[in-house]
């Protein structure tokens, strides 16, 4: 009788004990990512993913990242596992991550598939609009179990974004050529998040009709588009020397009016909360271009 009662009590306790359900998420490619529990060991294979992880309150979960992951300063101390386009798969596997964060348009997706083949959970991101940054922060909080901090960061981002939208609503359009490289001459197409930032500031991307993320264009195509402003990025805060290459083309409106601007790529080309710092700088440049319309 005692044995029977003990067995019955044990069965009752097992039935009453909470069963932790598997966490299932759908990433930006439509694939399901399954975790047994919030991730504690995360590898981020793009600099902006590492940065956003810190912003979401989960920086202490980051055990591996890639070259150029330099913000916040703590990220510089995290072990490197290659570059975002050339990963060291063995180094990633050796870290025994319970989650890998990847970037669809920036990472080598064949290598990402190999990581999946190793049985590693991989969440692939592709934020194309400014609003997506807030959603990315919240999802990182869910993945890492830091929801309160991530939600607070997302709300701060949304509030700043709304204020920036309000401040630039209904301003006259400025035709913009955004240059990300010289040789080859590269810009941003319609799906790129920078195109959304240009729109936010009351600008119009002269190559926004192109479907590629980072299309290559010709000098002739830029001259034909006749942008009112050229915004260029280089390799940091320094103004890229190749901005001056446009000066001989004096018939182009941007050159004639002196609207050749520069923004640090770290605050304009990373899908992180700092993107709003870049957007604010961009909006200020377009305001300068509007103020110079009295020039011939």
Q: Is 232 exposed, middle or buried (0-12, 13-18, 19+ CB in 10 A)?
A: buried
E strand or H helix that includes residue 198:
helix 193-200
Q: Give the whole-angstrom CA distance, residue 183 versus residue 242.
A: 10
Distance from chain centroid for Cα 293: 33
Q: What domains lie within the chain, and their CATH numbers? A: 13-154 (3.40.50.1980), 172-294 (3.40.50.1980)
pLDDT along the chain (296 residues), means of 10: 49 48 93 97 97 98 97 97 91 97 95 96 96 97 98 98 97 97 94 96 98 96 98 83 94 97 94 97 98 86
Q: Is 116 exposed, middle or buried (0-12, 13-18, 19+ CB in 10 A)?
A: middle
If one counts every other C-beta atom within 10 angstroms of the C-beta of residue 203, the result is: 27
């Amino acid at each position: 009788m005692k044995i029977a009662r003990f067995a019955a009590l044990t069965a009752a306790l097992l039935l009453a004990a909470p069963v932790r359900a598997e966490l299932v998420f759908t990433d930006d490619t439509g694939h399901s990512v399954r975790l047994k529990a919030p991730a504690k060991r995360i590898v981020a294979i793009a600099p902006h993913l590492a940065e956003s992880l810190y912003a979401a309150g989960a920086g202490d979960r980051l055990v591996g990242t890639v070259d150029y992951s330099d913000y916040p300063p703590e990220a510089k101390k995290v072990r490197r596992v290659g570059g975002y386009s050339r990963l060291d798969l063995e180094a990633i596997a050796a870290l025994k991550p319970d989650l890998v964060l990847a970037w669809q348009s920036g990472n080598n997706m064949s290598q990402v598939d190999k990581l999946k083949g190793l049985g590693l959970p991989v969440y692939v991101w592709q934020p194309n609009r400014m609003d997506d940054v807030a959603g990315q922060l919240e999802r990182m909080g869910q993945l890492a179990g830091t929801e309160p901090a991530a939600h607070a960061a997302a709300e701060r981002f949304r509030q700043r974004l709304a204020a920036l939208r309000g401040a630039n609503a209904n301003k006259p359009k400025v035709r913009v050529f955004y240059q990300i490289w010289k040789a080859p001459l590269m810009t941003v197409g319609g799906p790129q998040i920078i195109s959304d930032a240009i729109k936010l500031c009351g600008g119009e991307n002269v190559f926004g009709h192109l479907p590629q993320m980072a299309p290559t264009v010709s000098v002739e195509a830029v001259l034909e588009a006749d942008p009112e402003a050229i915004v260029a990025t280089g390799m940091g805060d320094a103004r890229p020397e190749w901005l001056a290459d446009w000066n001989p083309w004096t018939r182009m409106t941007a050159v004639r009016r002196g609207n050749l601007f520069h923004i640090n790529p770290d605050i304009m080309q990373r899908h992180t909360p700092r993107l709003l710092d870049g957007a604010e700088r961009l909006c200020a440049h377009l305001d300068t271009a509007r103020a110079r319309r009295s020039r011939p």
